[in-house]
Amino acid sequence: MSGKRMFGIGTLLFVAAALLIWPLVPPPLPKTIRIGTGPADGRYRVFGERIANRLRTQGFEVELVASEGSSENLARLQEADSRLDVAIVQGGVADSASAAQVEGIASLFYEPIWIFHRSEDPYDLMSDLRGKTIAIGRPGSGSAPLARSLLAANGVIDGDSHGSRLVPQGGEPALAALRAKKVDAAIFVQAPTDQMIHHLFESKDVALMLFQRGDAYAARFGHLNVLHIPRGFVSFERDLPKRDVQLLATTANLVMRKDTHPRLVPLLIEMCRDELVKGSMLAAPGVFPSIDDVDVPPSEVAVRYFRRGPSFLYRYLPFQLAHAVNRMVLLLIPLLTLLYPLVKGAGPLYRWIVNRRIYPWYPVLRDLEHALDAAQSPEERAEIARQFDELDDKVAAIKVPTRFTGEVFELRRHIALVRGKRPADLKSDPTAG
């Protein structure tokens, strides 16, 4: 068998092995990443745009999908034909059913919970809101389910025997309803720098309810944290708040569909880390992003990444190139493992194939030797001499690679050696016949 033919067989074996292993190799990265954010004027949208800009520098197309907020984002992630890959979702929104269908990537920043009420009605505890009308946030937002769960823990349920009413209003409409005394209290989940919070503090007819039992809430609700807001934190100029206050805060979390490409997880974590590296008013540098405070099951890739950091390739190569090299390595390692015994056995197999052209003549030579020993008459020995000549001609005509020529000459030497046992009788007479 020629070297070209062996090379062809090796190539076919390599391709066959590649086809077997290919399904085990991670799929290529998606070209487009769809991120669920929130209202156009909300913090989720702003943060999503910053992450999108960073992703675009890595060669991705990014689509930001606006929504009413966390509840709508979470619902969209669970749709069978979801248009979202990842979304920003407020902690405390997911129930057990929805949490089982998504995975957490990281918590991003604190979101304080503010409860403002009419100043003429002093409320010290959330349980004091029984029988009152409360604005809990607009439909589709994360504020509404969070507010419902906190109020329910205090015995305040929409339509209960005390006459409690939970109104789906948030933002400016909730502030206007509070000022117009259409609601007794309103719950907001917003950053302290938001102008809405400034307006609420500046309103003389509304007051902030203090969470007197913050540690108890944090212990009961795993997604809640206690924040201590010092005097003047919101505004030095207006001295807001005018005293130290204790607040509860949830976290904004980056979550994904379970079938989202796992290799995007480290990339998104790094993008968030670059964006949050300086910290914020509520969190020191290095606090976020974090795998803590994510109230849906965290992605195993995210947990592993936060513990170990990026691999060698992703630490020193551009992301797209690192992923391509990683896929190639994952393909080659099992291929080489599979092909090693084939490559190792190729040499002996090739030698055996070539020798198959040479060694079958040895039994013929042995038979001639036996015939020679048994020959009695000159005529028999002359016929045997002719057969020796014919055998030598056939062996001389064998075509083998140069490296195996020695085996052919060795066989011809053996033919001459056996024929030389009867040199006088075995010389063929060219004039005979």
Are 111 and 191 contacting, i.e. CB atoms less than 8 angstroms apart? yes
Are 62 and 32 contacting, i.e. CB atoms less than 8 angstroms apart? yes
Residue corresponding to tokens 């086809």: 19
Are 187 and 115 contacting, i.e. CB atoms less than 8 angstroms apart? yes
Are 248 and 111 contacting, i.e. CB atoms less than 8 angstroms apart? no
User: For position 4, what pLDDT does the model report?
Assistant: 57
Are 70 and 84 contacting, i.e. CB atoms less than 8 angstroms apart? no
As a whole number, mean pLDDT of residues 354-375 equals: 84
Identity (one letter) of the amino acid at 48?
G
Per-residue confidence at 388, pLDDT binned at 50, 70, 90?
A: confident
pLDDT tens, position by position, 128-167: 999 999 999 999 899 999 999 999 999 999 999 999 999 9
According to CATH, the superfamily of the domain at 32-309 is Periplasmic binding protein-like II (3.40.190.10)
Query: What whole-number distance in Å separates Cα of residue 99 and Cα of residue 334?
Result: 36
Query: What whole-number distance in Å separates Cα of residue 96 and Cα of residue 74?
Result: 12
Residue 106 CB partners (closer than 8 Å, separation 6+): 253, 254, 268, 269, 272, 288, 289, 290, 291, 294, 302, 306
Per-residue confidence at 432, pLDDT binned at 50, 70, 90?
A: very low
pLDDT tens, position by position, 253-278: 999 999 998 889 988 998 999 999 99
Per-residue confidence at 345, pLDDT binned at 50, 70, 90?
A: low
